[in-house]
Amino acid sequence: MDPQAEGEFRQFVASRSAALFRAAVLLSGDRGQAEDLLQGALAKAALRWRRIRSDPEANVRRILYRDQVSRWRLRSWGRETPAAAVPERADARDPVGDADLRLSLAGALRRLPPRQRAVLVLRFYEDLDERQAAELLEVSVGTIRSATWRGLARLRTLCAGLELTPEAPR
């Protein structure tokens, strides 16, 4: 990589790595795995920098999601991670109630199967529509819909603080 391209890459990493890391943590459910996932994605991006420098963040995110999909396709589906009991619902007057809900939701998200977690992160954190998520994960739109429905239903059972809305799965 020439010095100018290397400078551009370093600037990209410095400015966008925090946001990319947050997405990687949500995808993997583990900070250590997220670090590995992001490091691998950035290494791949560095090798292709000349071709992707026009839209590097989209390309790095695509690498992140595809690498995570590869990981959960290779892992066995029988593994479960034990988690502590979901805390009681916070009092409406409790100023830390939102923080408790976020922590509870993060714990519940980690307990979802990798595919459901990836789909929910794409749909609700990355704000992609069903078609975009399906293209990124290389699955059908129907798979995205069913994984979204099942993932949201499972989150509601795991995270007591989530409210059921009329349009949400029951």
Angle (deg, nearest 10), helices 141-158 and 130-137? 100
Compute the distance between CA of residue 79 and CA of residue 166 in angstroms, rounded to an integer: 33
Say if residues 129 and 136 touch (Cβ distance below 8 Å).
no
Tokens representing residue 63 in the block? 């690498």
What are the boundaries of each domain within the chain? 1-75, 82-170
Residues contacting residue 35 through CB under 8 Å, at least 6 positions apart: 21, 24
Note the pLDDT of residue 167: 47
Structure tokens at 135: 């293209």
Residue with tokens 């699955």: 139
* The architecture CATH gives domain 82-170: Orthogonal Bundle (1.10)
pLDDT lower than 50: segments of the chain = 76-78, 164-170
Unique residue bearing structure tokens 């410095």: 14
Q: What is the pLDDT of residues 14-31, one digit of tens each?
A: 999 999 999 999 888 889
Query: What is the structure's pLDDT at 85?
Result: 66
For residue 163, the model assigns a pLDDT of 62
pLDDT at 1: 74
pLDDT at 164: 44
Judge contact between 117 and 27, C-beta under 8 A.
yes
Query: How much is the pTM?
Result: 0.53
CA dist., res. 114 & res. 126, Å (int): 16
The CATH number of the domain covering residues in 1-75: 1.10.1740
